[in-house]
Amino acid sequence: MRDAVHRKNTSHRINKRKLADLVQTLRNGDEFEREKAIEYLGSHPSKAVVECVVPLLKETNTAIRMAVLEIIKATGHTHTGAVVGLLEDENEDIRVYACELLGSMKMVDTLPDLIRCLAEENQNVRNAAAVALGEFEDERAVTALLNALHDDQWIVFSAIYSLGKTRHRSAIEPLFDLFRNGEEEISMAACEVLLDFEDPSVPDSVCEILKKWAKKKRDRYIEIIVQKGNEDIFRRLKEKMGQDLFEHLLSYAEQGRKKSLSVLRLMIHFKDIRACDVLLDSLKALDQDEEEYGDVLGLFASLSDVWKDNIQEYMGKGDESVLAIVKSSALAKVKIDEGLLVKVFLDSSEGVKREIIKAVPVITQGDGYVLLKEAVRDKDGHVRSHAAAAIGKMDVKKLKDDVIEMAKADFTDVRISALRTLVSLDRNEALRLLREFVYNGTNEDRKVYLAVAGRLGGEENLPLVQRLFADNDEDAQRMAVSILGGFLEDERYIDIFKTLLTNDSVPHEVLKVIKERKLTQFKDRLVDIFSDTTKGLWTRYYALLALGAFEDVSLFQLFVRGLGDDNNVIKIGSLKALSDLNDARAVIHVRPFVESHDEDIRSTAELVIRSLEDPQRGKITP
């Protein structure tokens, strides 16, 4: 055990030459070099390190002094005497640094030295000592800080906040005395600290005192509570002050500054339309792409019972207000009269129009016909696409002809949206249109079909898919493969797969589907494809990946043979396939590739070796 400790200590030692070089780097290195020196010295704590860097605290360069402080905070525990000794330095800055360091080190045996500094003539040193003592949970520190409450105002501030850190019960009454009777700034500091005490009776007493004060006097104290954003304390204060607290909160919120999210959260404690106004103004000032926008929107939506009767007024205040009302109504499922929505829609910008039409199925009080009739004729493709989707969700059959026209000729995403809706409005008409697209349409028409094929059943899709494959159009076939994967329980679709696999040119998408669905019935054909070196490289590679996904140990020798392939891509695929087999016999075959000159092969082999030699994972196959 003693040897182990000795080895641990020597591993942290830095020889004198290296230490001197590091100190020189702190003095003269650039920012990056200095950061590396800080990191190294901080991770090798020793008396020698402390003794070498302490003198640098007297350097005039601020960056050097800050670097030294960081190092001593990490290493000073090894040589507290050197740090305490700095308290005797004639330079007040050094004595201030020493207090800061002793506070960060939190070593109880240095407490008497810090307490002694509270009697220093120099105010900066006394203040630094008061701040440092807040890091100690010790009766002596608390007593010293209580005595410091009679010092100059600056020191009193630091003593108050340090006492707050200790949360010591003996500090409560002296802090309350300052809260009640101290000068306003001191009183506010005491108030802030008392609110953070864990004993609920302490903040309760603060709230009780504030309740009895005149509004003008307590304004700034309420501001402290508001800025803290502590909802628990705010709730207690509300119980004691009721609506008076809202007036304080409102006054603070109307001061023109940007409201923090914590302040806005307090607003929803009051079901008051003025709280809604504040939240709406905040939404108008935010970009809807900002993360905070969603948070504030949720707060505003939570007050929907308060603002829902003011929707018409709010929607007359410009695009930002309309956007907020539409989004919030969708969240809270608040209904808006269709006539009002039509009027607002016609006067709005493109972005707002899009949001209105997206939300139509949720927020419209009415059948949606008039509004959606306007939307399908809008010049913006996004609006038309959202309108097509909304028609389907609201089952507005009177707009079927408009949907058909959009499905025939529009932007691709609009056509897809329209066809999906047509499937729900009139399935037979949708199938008639899709047959026209597949049999007589353009390549774009076929893409539209493929995008909505998932809405159709296997029986409906089969003749359309068969037609696509009969055309010998490679692009169409590649796109159609994705449909096959959804209906492989049907033997007729499996037959299409078999046909595709016998072709000279096998679509890679077919091989990817086999891999994803682990269609082991095609194993023999995949072995043939992989073994045929006249096939294209990527065709063989995807066949190999599919075989690897089967995790079939009978393929072990095939993957080993793949390691001897002329192409590095196949070698890497074979290495991965062997790893997936989880067969420790592969180690002897993989190990030579750890010495490969190709970095990709070498790194893959190393990963495979680590995986196969993992005792939690490896196994030997008989």
Dump pLDDT digits (tens) for 5-33. Answer: 333 343 457 888 889 999 899 999 899 99
Q: Which residues contact 545 (CB under 8 A, 6 or more apart)?
A: 511, 515, 573, 576, 577
Predicted confidence at residue 549, as pLDDT, reads: 92
Q: What is the phi/psi pair of residue 613, to 5°?
A: -90, 0
> Per the structure block, which two tokens stand in for 310?
């003011």
Give strand pairing partners of 364.
336
Residue 611 lies in a domain: yes
The number of beta carbons lying within 10 Å of the beta carbon of residue 271 is 11
Domain that holds residue 556: 504-622
Residue 259 lies in a domain: no
Taking 50 as the pLDDT cut, the residues of the chain under it are 1-11, 618-622
Helix (H, G, I), strand (E, B) or coil at 442: coil
> For residues 496 and 469, is the Cβ–Cβ distance under 8 A?
yes
Sign of CA dihedral 205, 206, 209, 211: negative
Annotate 42-53 with three-state secondary structure: HCCCCHHHHHHH
Predicted confidence at residue 395, as pLDDT, reads: 95
Q: Virtual CA dihedral for 189, 194, 196, 200, nearest 10 degrees?
A: -160
Predicted confidence at residue 9, as pLDDT, reads: 41
What CATH number is associated with residue 608? Answer: 1.25.10.10
Helix (H, G, I), strand (E, B) or coil at 364: strand
Across 581-616, b (16+ Cβ under 10 Å) vs e yields: bbbebbeebbeebeebeeeebeebbbebbebbeeee
The number of beta carbons lying within 10 Å of the beta carbon of residue 325 is 30
> For residues 549 and 526, is the Cβ–Cβ distance under 8 A?
no
For residues 403 and 397, give the distance between their C-alpha atoms in angstroms, rounded to a whole number: 9
Q: pLDDT tens digit string along 410-466?
A: 999 999 999 999 999 999 999 999 999 999 988 899 889 989 998 999 899 999 988
Residue 585 lies in a domain: yes
Residue 548 lies in a domain: yes
Helix (H, G, I), strand (E, B) or coil at 467: helix
- Counting DSSP H helices and E strands in the chain, the numbers are 41, 2
Residue 462 lies in a domain: no
For residues 202 and 193, give the distance between their C-alpha atoms in angstroms, rounded to a whole number: 10
Q: Which of 601, 596, 555 is nearest to 578 (CA)?
A: 555
State the residue for tokens 């096959």.
Answer: 484
Predicted confidence at residue 156, as pLDDT, reads: 95
Residue 313 lies in a domain: no
Instruction: Give the predicted TM-score (pTM) of the model.
Output: 0.68
> For residues 236 and 210, is the Cβ–Cβ distance under 8 A?
no
> For residues 418 and 448, is the Cβ–Cβ distance under 8 A?
no
Q: How many residues does the chain have?
A: 622
Predicted confidence at residue 322, as pLDDT, reads: 95
Annotate 153-177 with three-state secondary structure: HHHHHHHHHHHHHHCCHHHHHHHHH
Predicted confidence at residue 612, as pLDDT, reads: 82
Q: What is the phi/psi pair of residue 127, to 5°?
A: -65, -45
Residue 580 lies in a domain: yes
> For residues 546 and 510, is the Cβ–Cβ distance under 8 A?
no
Alpha helix positions (H), 118-268? 123-133, 139-147, 153-166, 172-181, 184-194, 201-212, 215-228, 231-241, 243-253, 261-267
For residues 313 and 333, give the distance between their C-alpha atoms in angstroms, rounded to a whole number: 19
Residue 513 lies in a domain: yes
- Alpha carbon distance, N-terminus to C-terminus of the chain: 44
Helix (H, G, I), strand (E, B) or coil at 269: coil
Strand boundaries in 327-468, DSSP class E: 336-337, 364-365
The number of beta carbons lying within 10 Å of the beta carbon of residue 410 is 19
Angle at CA of residue 504, ends 498 and 509, nearest 5°: 60
Please count the structural domains in the chain: 1
> For residues 452 and 419, is the Cβ–Cβ distance under 8 A?
yes
Q: Which of 269, 276, 284, 270 is nearest to 301 (CA)?
A: 276
State the residue for tokens 């062997």.
Answer: 578
> For residues 124 and 106, is the Cβ–Cβ distance under 8 A?
no
Predicted confidence at residue 324, as pLDDT, reads: 95
> For residues 82 and 51, is the Cβ–Cβ distance under 8 A?
yes
